[in-house]
Amino acid sequence: MYILVRGLGHMPRRKGVAIYEKTPVLGLAPGGGRTARGEVAANVVLRATEGYTGTLAGHARRMLPVYTMMVATEPPAPER
C-alpha cells in the first residue's frame, strides 16, 4: 500500500502541489482548512475523506460514501 500512496502523490508534487502528511484536518471551508498545526489556505480544496467525513465538524451528513475501492498488488520486483 505504501507504494500506491507514494505513486498517487508523485504527479501532484511534480506539478507543485504541497502534500501535508500526518496533519489531521479539524475543519474545512471554501479556500482552506484548519489543522492541528494551524490554518491552511488553498485555491482548491479536495476533500477525500470517505468514511472519515463524519469526523469533520459540519460535514457529517453532507456526503455518504456508497462504497470504497482499494487496490492491492504484490510488491514490484527490485529495479536492476
Span 54-74, average pLDDT:
68
Q: Which long-range contacts (CB under 8 A, 24 or more apart) does 51-54 make?
A: none
Nearest to 39 by CA among 20, 13, 55, 61: 20
**The predicted structure's pLDDT at residue 39:** 93
Q: What pTM, to 2 d.p., does this model score?
A: 0.50
**The predicted structure's pLDDT at residue 20:** 78
SS3 14: helix
In terms of pLDDT, which residue wins out, 20 or 51? 20
Chain segment 6-30, per-residue pLDDT in tens:
788 888 899 998 887 888 888 888 8
In terms of pLDDT, which residue wins out, 67 or 46? 46
d(CA 26, CA 35): 5
State the Cα torsion 44-11-77-71 to the nearest 10°. 30
